[in-house]
Amino acid sequence: MTWADDLIPMMGPEAVTDIIARVSDVALVVSASGEVLRVLSNPEFSAFRYMTGWAGKPLHDTLTIESIGKFDAQLSHFRAGKGSTLSVELNHSATEEHAEMPMRYSFHRLGTQGDVLMLGHDLRSVSDMQQQLVAAQIALENDYEIQREHDIRFRVLLESSDTPTVLASMKTGAVVACNTAAEKLFGKPREALVDNSFAREFDEAGHSDLLERLVSAASDQGAMPVSAKALNGGRRLSLTPVLFRGANAQMLLCKIRTAGRSDGNSDPLHARVSELYRNGVDAIVFVDGAGTILSSNDAFPRLADLNHDTMVQGRSIADYFLRGSVDLNVMLENARRTGSMRLYATKLISQHGTERAVEISTTQLTAGGHAIFGLVIRDTRRLEAGRGPTKAITDVDMQSVIELIGGQSLKDIVAKTTDVVEKMCIETAVEMTSNNRVAAAEMLGLSRQSLYVKLRKYGLVSKN
């Protein structure tokens, strides 16, 4: 008789098997060699079909790689009888029909042949909960990073504004955030402004209802900015409010300007220059360093006989010059060297092929860190008609040719005349290009070496 005789009555094998099957999700009888001898499953265990084919196979074949070592170590420890053995968590490998299944097994002896009874409990619910906790933790980390990113963007945006800006809570009336410009305006550090009353920074006679006036102005889109007198310096300030709802309460964003100060967009000079660009008589064109047209006013399409200004965008300004890239290179090169080039005379070719005499002034500008050029193009056809015909050859040169008559043959006189015309053309090209020899050679269709030879021939090398 043993102490268990009074607790556990005699039971048949079927009853013992049923008890074992119900106290665990799975019961495995494993031989000394690690082969699965029998599989018992709880009738309510949904993955029983997943395990029906395990009988007669090594248990290693059902385990994942990382679980095989854990099983061998636990089994060796159990067989060595080194005290009590804790349960072990093993993962059974996935199949086409079932996903990977985690189980927790406890080891129990069966007789003296070395067989082991392994009682297993399904850990899929625990695993799913762990996965949910991990996913929730990752989501929290992502939300924290997003919030941190938004906070950084908000602070950078706030600090990048030169306009004093204050963010106040409508619930408490306290300043929540402000930029450096607001610190300078109120003459206080940020620590002294944040979490303190925003209305207290203004004249005592008007701060009691300041928030109400700001809310009223923010609600009425057509309302004028709210005027208030600052305590610091007694300056009259203009407050432009924006009302929005935050996480816990309504918030008020106030942009503060000194009363009477005009915005950059309402600058009279800016408005006048814009009006001159749009309605000016002379054509104004902006090009990049390659001569591609960036924008132009309405006068340029009219000058070039274009039907619409969209035909200009993206084209090279050289397409409209008589000498094409030669004119463009001369103007841009001189503008790069000296900053501007005045009154460059050339001819503009219209869409219909007609030529118009024009004078172009070029100025180098900077936009977005890149050099661009502004071209003011003036139609000079009337000026040319008023000037009358110009002398192609100077009186001195003509007199020197006349003196040759009677003293030399006609062939020599023609040669001398050719030299006079050639000299005049070279002088004109050098003058038009502001002594830029490369541009002058390109304008005349000569190589640089040929131009230098002719300059030496006519004594023009040292001429400025």
pLDDT digits (tens, 9 = 90+) for 151-194: 888 888 888 888 899 999 888 889 989 998 888 888 888 888 99
Residue spans in the chain of domains classed CATH 3.30.450.20:
3-122, 161-261, 268-387
d(CA 360, CA 378): 6
Global pTM?
0.36
Joined together, the tokens standing for residue 376 give 């003011």
Q: What is the 3-state secondary structure (H, E, C) of 401-425?
A: HHCCECCECHHHHHHHHHHHHHHHH
pLDDT on residue 3: 47
More confident residue, 417 or 336: 336
Stretch 202-227: mean pLDDT = 75
At 9, is the pLDDT very low, low, confident or very high (cuts 50, 70, 90)? low
- pLDDT of residue 403 exceeding 70, the answer is no
Q: What percent of the chain has pLDDT over 70?
A: 79
Q: Are 91 and 63 in contact (CB under 8 A)?
A: yes
Confidence at residue 396, expressed as pLDDT on a 0 to 100 scale:
53
CB 313 within 8 A of CB 293: yes
The pLDDT of residue 115 is above 80: yes
Cα distance between residue 134 and residue 24, in whole Å: 28
Region 161-261: CATH code:
3.30.450.20
Q: Of 173 and 403, which is predicted with more confidence?
A: 173
More confident residue, 278 or 208: 278
Size of the chain in residues: 464
pLDDT of residue 161: 84
Judge whether 176 and 196 are in contact, CB under 8 Å: no
410-432 vs 448-457: helix axis angle to the nearest 10?
A: 120
Q: How confident is the model at residue 386 (pLDDT cuts 50, 70, 90)?
A: low
Task: Read off the pLDDT of each residue in 424-437 and give the average, rounded to a whole number.
Answer: 76
Q: Kindly report, residue by residue over 61-75, the tens digit of the pLDDT.
A: 888 998 888 888 888
pLDDT at 420 over 80: no
* CA diameter of the chain: 162
Cα separation, 223 vs 215, whole angstroms: 11
- Residue 262: pLDDT band (50, 70, 90) is very low
Q: Are 344 and 367 in contact (CB under 8 A)?
A: no
* Confidence at residue 384, expressed as pLDDT on a 0 to 100 scale: 57
What tokens were used for 287?
């090009």
Name the residue with tokens 């042949």: 113
Least confident segment among 90-94, 152-156, 174-178, 392-396: 392-396
Q: Give the chain's mean pLDDT.
A: 79
Return the percent helix, strand and coil in the chain, to nearest 5: 45, 25, 30
Q: What are phi and psi of 273, to 5 degrees?
A: -65, -40
H or E element that contains 229:
strand 226-229
Nearest to 27 by CA among 11, 43, 13, 38: 38
Q: What is the CATH number of domain 395-457?
A: 1.10.10
> Is residue 391 predicted with pLDDT exceeding 50?
no
Q: Is the pLDDT of residue 463 over 70?
A: no
390 pLDDT above the threshold of 70:
no
Report the distance separating Cα 420 and Cα 18, nearest Å.
126
**Cβ–Cβ < 8 Å for 298, 309:** yes
For domain 3-122, the CATH architecture is 2-Layer Sandwich (3.30)
Radius of gyration of the chain (CA): 47
37-46 long-range contacts (CB < 8 A, ≥24 apart) are 37/115, 45/122
List b or e across 212-221, with b for residues whose CB sees 16 or more CB atoms inside 10 angstroms: ebbbebbeee
Greater pLDDT, 314 or 58: 58
Q: What is the dihedral of CA 357, 363, 368, 371, to 10 degrees?
A: 90
Question: What is the CATH architecture of 268-387?
Answer: 2-Layer Sandwich (3.30)
Residues near 22 by Cβ (< 8 Å), separated by ≥ 6?
A: 42, 43
Residue 445 has pLDDT above 80, yes or no: no
Convert the pLDDT of each residue in 287-345 to its tens digit: 888 888 888 888 888 888 887 666 677 888 888 888 888 888 888 888 888 888 888 88
State how far the Cα of 280 lies from the Cα of 303, in Å rounded to an integer. 12
Indicate the pLDDT class of residue 264, thresholds 50, 70 and 90: very low
Of residues 219 and 221, more confidence is placed in 219
DSSP state of 438: H
